[in-house]
Structure 1
Amino acid sequence: MTTDAETLTKRVHDAGPGPRRPRRLRSAAPIILLALAAVFMVLAYQTVHEVAVGVYSLAMLLCLILSGLHVGVAMALSGVYAIWVIYGSVGLVSALKNAPYDSASSWSISVLPMFIFMGFLLWRSSITNKLYAGAGVWLNWMPGGLAVTTKVAGAAMGAASGSSVGIAYALGRIALPEMLRAGYPKRIALTSVLMAGSGGQLIPPSIIMVVYAGIAGTSVGQQLLTGLLPGLVLVGAYITYLIVTSLIMKSKFDIRSAPPATRQDRIRSLKDLWQVPLVILLVVGGLYSGFFTATEAGAFGAFVALVMLFVYRRGESGRALWEAVRDSLASTGSIFLLLAGSAVLARALALTGVTQAATDLIAGSDMTRVQFLLALILFYIVLGLFLDPIAMILLTVPLLLPIMPAFGIDPLWFGAFIVLLGELAVITPPVGVLLYVIFRLSQSKEVNLGQKISITDVMRASIAFIPITIAVALILIFFPDLVTILPELSFAE
């Protein structure tokens, strides 16, 4: 590496937990979309067929989301309007008096704030940031060592923080210039950054898995364990690709690998490497053995992270704790708003008959289990153009749950499958949100070192991500035991 571990740690920390939200473009598009949503409202009001009302409410939902409205608010508005059209204000109050509260007060969801708080505590303690420098001491000598280091550190950070976009942004600010300076071609450098946080969403503790378990009614502890082996397979596949690609391109580009670190350097680096794996091991081990329930595991993980914050941020622990609390409240509130909106929309779709109609239509088709799941891969890739993974899960799982028994699909298995597809969606061209985050980041001269990086370069770098992720999805389809074996062997509740 071209800078020392302390400098790298500081630079990753300065990157912050994620990109700032871009300013909305001033254009006529939101106005047009809102007008179109109003048209669907009128059509829904005039129709006498309940299923048609539900379909119009979904069209209204899509317009509201594309106009820039928060997804949770858009789902709630669409659901409320559909129920009001059919049942009036009295029926609306009766149908919705408990739905939002029940969705947020579920015991299985109570672990969510703890996992979110744990992730932000680890981030604000600078522990996750030190992973990059520490991992580099062990991995930089390999072919594509800097790229592999980025992926390994990103997977660990992703498991702890739950944000692929935030991880890729923070690591990209330090890893991109390091790789370009070491002679890496833009394609490998960008690919490794795009892959940085992916896979971590599957490895417990996973916020998205908890959200799915709350919606699907599965055991949170068992659901978290379903993602461990698929997540490790996905991370291993990415690392293999980066190593092989670096070996192939080494003859064309002057890719420089760092000399192997000395034994003393590796021993010293261990102080930066054990904290996050320890937290993950305690949470996973406690769940697997049945020693912790999921909620207890989240609380214990947050406590351990809090202790680490006071140890590693002495003198700044008060400010760091406040920042972790503030960020946790914002993230938790946003997710709970999504949960409440999803509950309202799910109730509306059930009352209008859309859920039953979709179940009858798909269950009555001649599709096999494999054909149905392949169709879902395409469906989620398209849906990912508009929604983030959590919103995708909240919007679609209530519709899909009644259909899964007809195809013999285990809800536990499906949770790992759908989280994997959500990871694929955020990076799929041409609209994957992560592509534009990394593109904006790469326009800084401090990051690109004077090299021109276009959005086309970023999209080309993402191409490798798609077949690898789809290949892992196919492995899950044809070898479902990879997902279910740990929950079956565990004592998790």
Structure 2
Amino acid sequence: MDMLWISILLAFALLALLSLGVWVSFTLIAIGGLGLVLSENYQVDLLFATSSWGASTAWSLTALPLFIWMGEVLFRTRLSEDLFKGLSPWLSGVPGKLLHVNILSCGIFAAVSGSSAATAATIGRMTLPELRKQGYSERMAIGTLAGSGTLGLLIPPSIILIVYGVAAEVSIARLFIAGALPGLLLVSLFMGFTMMWGYLRKDELPKTSKQDTSWSARLKALRKLLPVVGLIGFVLGSIYGGITTPTEAAAIGVTGALVLAAATGSLSRNSFMKSLLGAVKSSCMIGFILVGAHFLTLAMGFLGIPKALALWIGGLSLSPMELILYLTLLFVVLGCFLDGISVVVLTVAVVLPMVEAANIDLLWFGIFIVLVVEMSQITPPVGFNLFVIQALTGKNILYVAKAALPFFLLIGVAIGLISLFPEIVTYLPATMSQK
């Protein structure tokens, strides 16, 4: 059968299975098996066993369940609530006032969670009721949460960066370092927009703030804020400083989160078991997806699809910027139907040969793909994070999508900036490697 028709058949089968609600991992395995049969290679069982072992035994993957567990510990204990209480007194005097708590809380929690959905759900549970009670614009409260919730995908330690690093064979430590400045860029764009909105829409802000903003209240709030910020600083600092590997830093982070939770009296046997069970479930789900993606990659290699696709793209004589534009559209569309990790593992094997042929830095491309996946998570009206926030608020999905639209566009601005100025991504890793 002609390779073009095989590719169309596999793509149609993939979309059909996903639309029927079949698990992503099972879908990938089924399409991989079908691809091997179509390539007249009938040793499907042996190849699946071999590829599964290779996909699941990479040492760098051990950081994944540890970082997930660290986020679960914070989510199940009082430490996540302390973030809101610690930030509130410091932000009440800024234009936009406590709306910035959503942005900074998500930024801080993202650095210990690594999960977009977990960040949005955790921070939303704390902030939305309080902002509603104090009289803030509900649409803006939802919008800041939707946009900032995506930071869990980018700000290190990011689960999706670990997955990309393993798939593309790029240093995870360097990816973590590369994600720092783009993460700060996004936080700055979100806060700048919120300040502008707060200045122009003063009538939609509470007339008087119930928050005590005296210096004594601020210093008192630091006691709640410093433990979590200190944990983040220690974990990331040990990676950036070259003291630990991401896996070792993840182990330190889990230990630190457990110690802090115990010290605050919020670690019980019940919360410990729930955090452990949550981490096991999430890790198994992601691991199973990786196994399926690795098997599909193997099947496509036998069919020769990646090489043929790369040659086809090369024959189009696309400039690197044109290629990036097409890939942006592809990832945004896929992100409407799949979670971020699934988008990465589904596409990396096919896309990387094109990226390498265009002489695009794989380190830069890793941050680019995460930013685009972030964008897809709040793509109106079917982004994954929008459904998380809809479940939290009970609002119509179109209302949530409209609230998130400005932040969707701001992520697009960030993608444009790192495309025009790639040094935003590459500067820190280059500086660190010279030391």
Give the TM-score band, short-chain normalised: over 0.9
Aligned to 2:408: 466
CA deviations over 1:235-259 (Å, ceiling 9, x no partner):
1110111111111111466554456
CA deviations over 1:151-203 (Å, ceiling 9, x no partner):
11111112211222233233334433433343333321221221232223211
Rounded Cα–Cα distance in structure 1 between residues aligned with 2:401 and 2:272: 38
Aligned to 2:269: 318
Displacement of 1:325 after TM fit?
1.1
Aligned to 1:294: 246
Does the Cα contact within 8 Å between 2:136 and 2:204 map onto a contact in 1?
Answer: no
Rounded Cα–Cα distance in structure 2 between residues aligned with 1:197 and 1:482: 21
CA deviations over 1:398-422 (Å, ceiling 9, x no partner):
1111111222211111111111111
**1:264 paired to 2:206:** no
**1:344 paired to 2:295:** yes
Which one-letter code corresponds to 2:416 in the other structure?
Answer: L
Which one-letter code corresponds to 2:365 in the other structure?
Answer: F
**1:157 paired to 2:109:** yes
Rounded Cα–Cα distance in structure 1 between residues aligned with 2:11 and 2:56: 23
**1:74 paired to 2:27:** yes
**1:142 paired to 2:94:** yes
Rounded Cα–Cα distance in structure 2 between residues aligned with 1:149 and 1:486: 27
Does the Cα contact within 8 Å between 1:204 and 1:280 map onto a contact in 2?
Answer: no
Aligned to 2:2: 49
Aligned to 2:347: 396
Aligned to 2:367: 416
Q: 1:237 aligns with which of 183, 189, 196?
A: 189
Give ranges in structure 2 of 5+ residues lacking alignment: none
Rounded Cα–Cα distance in structure 1 between residues aligned with 2:428 and 2:308: 35
Does the Cα contact within 8 Å between 1:168 and 1:193 map onto a contact in 2?
Answer: yes
Change in Cα spacing, 1:173 to 1:319, as seen in structure 2 (3 Å) is closer
Residue aligned with 1:89, SS: coil
**1:83 paired to 2:36:** yes
CA deviations over 1:346-396 (Å, ceiling 9, x no partner):
111111121112111111112111111122211111111111110000001
Q: 2:237 aligns with which of 285, 294, 300?
A: 285
Rounded Cα–Cα distance in structure 1 between residues aligned with 2:302 and 2:207: 60
CA deviations over 1:414-439 (Å, ceiling 9, x no partner):
11111111111011112112223322
Displacement of 1:101 after TM fit?
1.2
Does the Cα contact within 8 Å between 1:184 and 1:255 map onto a contact in 2?
Answer: no
Does the Cα contact within 8 Å between 1:205 and 1:284 map onto a contact in 2?
Answer: yes
My pick for the range that moved more, 288-297 or 173-182, is 173-182
Q: 1:217 aligns with which of 152, 169, 176?
A: 169
Rounded Cα–Cα distance in structure 2 between residues aligned with 1:400 and 1:159: 28
CA RMSD between the two structures? 2.0
Rounded Cα–Cα distance in structure 2 between residues aligned with 1:295 and 1:436: 32
Change in Cα spacing, 1:344 to 1:183, as seen in structure 2 (3 Å) is same
Change in Cα spacing, 1:179 to 1:321, as seen in structure 2 (3 Å) is closer
Displacement of 1:209 after TM fit?
0.7
Aligned to 1:333: 284
Aligned to 2:432: 490
CA deviations over 1:217-240 (Å, ceiling 9, x no partner):
011111111111100110111011
Does the Cα contact within 8 Å between 1:200 and 1:231 map onto a contact in 2?
Answer: no
Rounded Cα–Cα distance in structure 2 between residues aligned with 1:491 and 1:282: 20
Rounded Cα–Cα distance in structure 1 between residues aligned with 2:65 and 2:132: 38
Aligned to 1:475: 417
Which one-letter code corresponds to 1:423 in the other structure?
Answer: E
Displacement of 1:49 after TM fit?
2.7
Does the Cα contact within 8 Å between 2:335 and 2:383 map onto a contact in 1?
Answer: yes
Change in Cα spacing, 1:253 to 1:332, as seen in structure 2 (3 Å) is closer
Displacement of 1:464 after TM fit?
0.1
Change in Cα spacing, 1:404 to 1:390, as seen in structure 2 (3 Å) is same
Which one-letter code corresponds to 1:322 in the other structure?
Answer: M
**1:114 paired to 2:56:** no
Rounded Cα–Cα distance in structure 1 between residues aligned with 2:204 and 2:386: 26
Rounded Cα–Cα distance in structure 2 between residues aligned with 1:309 and 1:191: 30
Change in Cα spacing, 1:111 to 1:259, as seen in structure 2 (3 Å) is closer
Change in Cα spacing, 1:147 to 1:359, as seen in structure 2 (3 Å) is same
More helix by share: 2
Does the Cα contact within 8 Å between 1:119 and 1:161 map onto a contact in 2?
Answer: yes
**1:374 paired to 2:316:** no
**1:61 paired to 2:14:** yes
Rounded Cα–Cα distance in structure 1 between residues aligned with 2:304 and 2:406: 41
TM-score, with length taken from structure 2 = 0.94
Rounded Cα–Cα distance in structure 2 between residues aligned with 1:287 and 1:272: 25
Q: 1:457 aligns with which of 399, 407, 430?
A: 399
Give ranges in structure 1 of 5+ residues lacking alignment: 1-47, 444-452
**1:435 paired to 2:377:** no
Rounded Cα–Cα distance in structure 1 between residues aligned with 2:205 and 2:62: 51
Q: Which is greater in Rg?
A: 1
Displacement of 1:260 after TM fit?
5.5
